[in-house]
Amino acid sequence: MKGGTLPLLGLATLLLSAWSARAAEWHVHKHQGRDYVTFRNVAEFYRFSDYQQANRTVSLRSDRRGVRAQADKSELYINGVRFFTHFPIVTQNNESMISAIDVGKIVEPILRPSRIDNAQKVETVILDPGHGGTDTGGSNRWGSEKEFTLHVAATAREQLLRAGFKVEMTRTADSGISLEERIEFANRIPNAVFVSIHFNSGTGGNGVESYALTPEGLPSSTGGSHHAAAAANGPETHEGNQQDAQNISLTAAVHASVLSRLSAHDRGVRHARFKVLRHIRIPAVLIEAGFMSDPVEGQRIATAQYRQQLGMAIAQGVQNYNAAVNYRTQDAGFTIVRTNLPPHSRPITEPLDVNQPLPPLAPHEPSISITPGG
Ligand SMILES: [Zn+2]
């Protein structure tokens, strides 16, 4: 898609949110032909009480939320969780700016998941243990990916059933099923979400990365995934793009929950056009829950205890997503891991430029974040 249309689409989404919800306005700046907004503007719009820019780092804080970014990087931390942005953070006139598209596609659905259009209450969770049969996936001296993913899914299933969800699995044994069959299976089930579970391989890598389908026309994030070759990178629309906002929220919720429980290295919430994500018509996430090829992490993954923790964390992430998009925050403990945020030591040096007083925030408005307690 040519440059002109997409930024406008992103901007339209933003402006719509602004007019319908708040008095704060967006002030758009052009940077290399793309629409950007300043982080100061983001702070104003989302009512962060504290805005700081020091050297190349900008941070927004309020009582329960935080956003942090660094100039020239294509990443962003929201409530301590790492997200890869579609376009780099830039600086203009000493102001850090983020693309309007990244605000619309990442910041908005993460900070205000309860406003996502058409987000359904989750009735069924479809767990998709990666690989199976002759397709073993990755392997190390302790086992193969297909066995480990099945065990993680089985643990997640137990936890989700206890929490009152229906659960379907694309496979319950060591059977070979194609990606098309998995997709077809998932698309038959209403009010469901799809969670594909994998482990990573690749030299020098460790940690957890989670993928949502790349929105139409936008660049994907590169990753350490051995599945990267299976990801098309064309700009065409996929069925899965009908729920970009749900996809990123679900992905972030699962990712944050896993990081919190397993204390793994955060390789970020990323975007890719994996085949298994492209044609899913329900919200979907693919998690690469650690590197089998890493000597330390590979050995951890090989322990039943680690996989049980992982399964429980994935289940909790789905529950957190469901609570966030349905306002049920009291049930789910959406709080912030403050240690991941920069120190909150200095006051704002300049007042925010607001035209009129803003209405108070909804008292229990949720955001996707890490749950406490590890
Ligand atoms: Zn895999």
Instruction: Record the tokens describing residue 236, joined without a space.
Output: 């065409």
C-alpha 271 – ligand 1 centre gap (Å)? 16
Question: Is this prediction's pTM over 0.75?
Answer: yes
Using the mean position of ligand 1's atoms as its centre, give its distance from the Cα of residue 131 in Å.
Answer: 6
Cα-to-centroid distance, 286 and ligand 1 (Å): 10
Query: Following DSSP, what letter does each residue of 71-127 receive, concatenated?
Result: TT-SEEEETTEEEE-SS--EEETTEEEEEHHHIIIIIHHHH-GGG-TTPPPP-EEEE
> By the 8 A CB rule, do 60 and 35 touch?
no
Can you tell me the distance from the alpha carbon of 364 to that of 334, in angstroms, rounded to the nearest whole number? Answer: 10
Gap from CA of 101 to ligand 1 centroid (Å): 30
Domain map (residue ranges) of the chain: 5-111, 124-325
What is the 209 CA–ligand 1 centroid distance (Å)? 12
CB-based contacts of 298, cutoff 8 Å, min separation 6: 140, 142, 290, 291, 292
How many angstroms does the Cα of residue 10 sit away from the middle of ligand 1?
A: 33
CATH number of 124-325: 3.40.630.40
pLDDT, one tens digit for every residue, the chain (374 residues): 333 344 445 555 555 554 455 458 899 999 999 999 999 999 999 999 999 999 899 999 998 789 999 999 999 999 989 999 999 999 999 999 999 999 999 999 999 998 888 888 999 999 999 999 999 999 999 999 999 999 999 999 999 999 999 999 999 999 999 999 999 999 999 999 999 999 999 887 899 999 999 998 888 886 555 454 445 555 567 878 889 999 999 999 999 999 989 888 999 999 999 988 999 999 999 999 999 999 999 999 999 999 999 999 999 999 999 999 986 553 333 333 323 333 322 222 222 223 333 333 344 444 555 433 33
Cβ-Cβ contacts under 8 Å for 199 (sequence gap 6 or more)? 130, 137, 138, 145, 148, 149, 288, 289, 290, 291, 292, 301
- Amino acid code (one letter) for 315: A
CA distance 338 to 336: 6
Cα(135) to ligand 1 centroid in Å equals 9
5-111 CATH: 3.30.457.10
Distance 130 CA to ligand 1 centre (A): 5
